[in-house]
Every structure is written in structure tokens, then in C-alpha cells.
Amino acid sequence: MSLLERSFHLAHYIFPEGGSCLEFGVFRGGTFAYQADQINKHYPKSRLIGFDSWQGLPEETPGIWIPERHAKGEYAAPKDEVLRKLAEANLSIDDPRLRLVDGFYSDSLTPDVRSSIDSLIFVNIDVDIYSSTIELLDFIEPLLRPGVILYWDDWKDPRDSHDKPWGEHAAWDDWRAKHPGIEVATVGTNEYLQQVMVVTAAHGATLAAPLPSLAEIEKRAAELERNPPELRKRKAGESALTSVKIWVNSIPVIGPAIRRAYRALG
């Protein structure tokens, strides 16, 4: 299970009631289709919104270093490819839990779109460059709350030898300096130097009960890395709620704790 996939499940550990999941940089739709499939099978109360221009990368901010592969227009992909991947998973963008927002972020990240998003739990940031990262961070800032998971796909690509932060990393450093009320803790990384953060403070609120503690979140992240949950397919005639109950009971640590609680109640 990839770091992105573990991060998605970690967000649902923190917010078992589900919520809004955002993906910035859909490209060919592999990770979008994965999340949509997991929502359909295991997290039926969650929603997924993807943002992409389908025209590749926009211009980078002048003066910010980028590798050649991040030139304007790179990573363009047809929206139809995303729709095809959804269809292969027996899903459709007509599902009210799924949405794709078209256009460059300077045009598409509007107040109306933001007002349609509630209960943010997960953000997949896969936009590569500084300018797009700043735009999306400004967009999600009012939506951030303690417990939200931020996944960074291009935090610092090990293929690039550059002595200073650039792209997503540089944008986060600059943006955070202007938003001291937003605090995070890093709870995951990998050999590709991708990063997973959990928001620990936002808009005067801090990570506190009924949410799990930072220590509990770190422990769960480590468990997901060592022993990823075996996500089962729903059987014919089985309700979504029953499917979720069976899956939760199969999770190491959580499942046994639930069963002990049931036994204690008699």
C-alpha cells in the first residue's frame, strides 16, 4: 500500500464519520479512482473532489527553480481517461459523492466551489509547482481544522539535486510563515521524500478529544505501514454499514478494542 493510500485511510481513522477529500492534480486519474473506489466500498459518507486543468502545468512563479519536466504544459491528460478509470471500477462521475472541477486554479478555485465543501478530512497535493501550491493553500485555508491530513506527492523529489526548497516544499514554507495559526506535525514519509502531515491547530482550535491524540495518530500511521488493512469487497446483499463494521473489526488494535468493549457491556 502506497503512502498516499495509507494517508487516505489514516484520515478516515481520524474522522470515522467521513468527510470531504480533495485531490489537486488529478492527471490520468489513478489515485482519484482509487479513492473513489474506497469511498464506494468502505467510506460511503465521504466525498471526493478533484481539481485539474487537463492542460498540464501552468507557468511557474518567476524566480522559482523547476526541473525541466515541470515546464508549462507538462502532465496534460484527457479528462476522459479519468472517467474511463472510474468506469472500470463500476463508478461514474454522476455519483453525487464524486466531482471533478475543471480549469487552472486561478479560475477554478472560487468562493462558490469552496462553500460547497464541508467537513474537510484529506487533501492530496500533487501539483508539482510553487504557483499552484500557493493557490490551493489559499483556497483550503478556511477549510482547515485539526485532524486534517495533508499528503504531499512532490515535497522533494530525490531525482533533483537542488540546495533549496522549491515547488510544493518552498510554497508551504512561504505560506506557513504568513499563517502562523496553522500548525502541523509530520506523520509519514518514504524513500521518494513524499510527506504526510496532520493539522494540529487551525483557527484557534487544537487537536483534542473526541479526535485521537497526535500520539495515537502516529501509532496508527505506523500500524498502517507495517500491516495495511485488508480492505474487503462488500458481499452481495450486504449493506454499506455492515461492510464498514466488518472492516473496522478486522483492523489491528481497533477491532480487538471494540470487541472487548462489547464484551464488557455484556
Share of the chain above pLDDT 90, in %: 71
* pTM, full prediction: 0.84
Q: How many domains does the chain have?
A: 2
Q: Are residues 248 and 186 in the same domain?
A: no
Supply the pLDDT for residue 211.
98
Give the structural domain span for 247.
232-266
Q: Are residues 198 and 68 in the same domain?
A: yes
Mean pLDDT of the chain: 88
Over residues 1-11, mean pLDDT: 97
Between helix 214-226 and helix 3-14 the angle, nearest 10°, is 140
End-to-end alpha carbon distance in the chain: 37
Q: Are residues 170 and 192 in the same domain?
A: yes
Supply the pLDDT for residue 216.
98
Contact 248, 262 (CB under 8 A): no
Confidence of residue 190 (pLDDT cuts 50, 70, 90): very high
Q: Are residues 201 and 83 in the same domain?
A: yes
- Considering only residues 247 and 220, tell me which one the structure prediction assigns the higher pLDDT: 220
> 33-78, pLDDT tens digit by residue?
999 999 999 999 999 999 999 999 888 877 776 766 778 888 899 9
Q: Are residues 171 and 42 in the same domain?
A: yes
Three-state SS for 219?
Answer: helix
Q: Are residues 126 and 245 in the same domain?
A: no
Q: Are residues 117 and 53 in the same domain?
A: yes
Q: Are residues 218 and 236 in the same domain?
A: no
Q: Are residues 129 and 259 in the same domain?
A: no
